[in-house]
Amino acid sequence: MNYITMEQLQHTVPFLPKNADVFIPYLNKTMERYDITTRLRICMFIAQLAHESGGFRYTKELANGRAYEGRRDLGNIHPGDGMKYKGRGLIQCTGRNNYMECSKELFGDINTLLVHPQLLETPQYACLSAGWFWNKMQLNKYADLPDTWRSKKHGYSPFEYITYLINGGQNGLAGREAYYKRAKEIF
């Protein structure tokens, strides 16, 4: 089943790189696997991925990862973990713990991504890791809420709350919302 086409992605993400078409089959497989199949789920998912990946340009965080060094909350307990397990994939999977959990889901073991973290930079696993994170955080249930819903703690709308759960704050909210608005025009 096709949930997204290149035409829809191009409309959603202006100045999309020419090679972005490599993501289309994997985005469709990911959306099928993680039930990101309704209009609002798709629009929110694509908008968040567009922001997190710099408009589908990057599957590896630009920063070197030193900021994550020693971050026990991310499971980075060994020297070099911060740089080795920096953000990768379209939603920027970050930290030893997330790499192990994602590896368990995608490969059936906790070690594949610990040994080969660069796999998350490939189109297939960049997409699948984003779906895994979306599912882990139960973001479909927030995407399904009406726009009038507000989170109890912060008063966020569903889209703002999904941004918070992905990013830990509202970093880049205006850009994310712009992608979301454009996605809703074509989906």
Domain boundaries, the chain: 1-58+123-187, 60-121
pLDDT of amino acid 158: 98
pLDDT on residue 42: 99
Specify the pLDDT at position 164.
98
Determine the pLDDT at residue 140: 99
Chain centroid, CA 184 distance in Å: 18
Residue pLDDT, tens place only, 59-82: 999 999 999 999 999 999 999 999
Which residue ranges of the chain lie beneath pLDDT 70? Answer: none
Q: What is d(CA 150, CA 78) in angstroms, rounded to the nearest whole number?
A: 39
**Cα–Cα distance for residue pair 125/23, rounded to 1 Å:** 10
pLDDT at position 162 is 98
**Per DSSP, what are the bridge partners of residue 93?**
88
pTM score over 0.75: yes
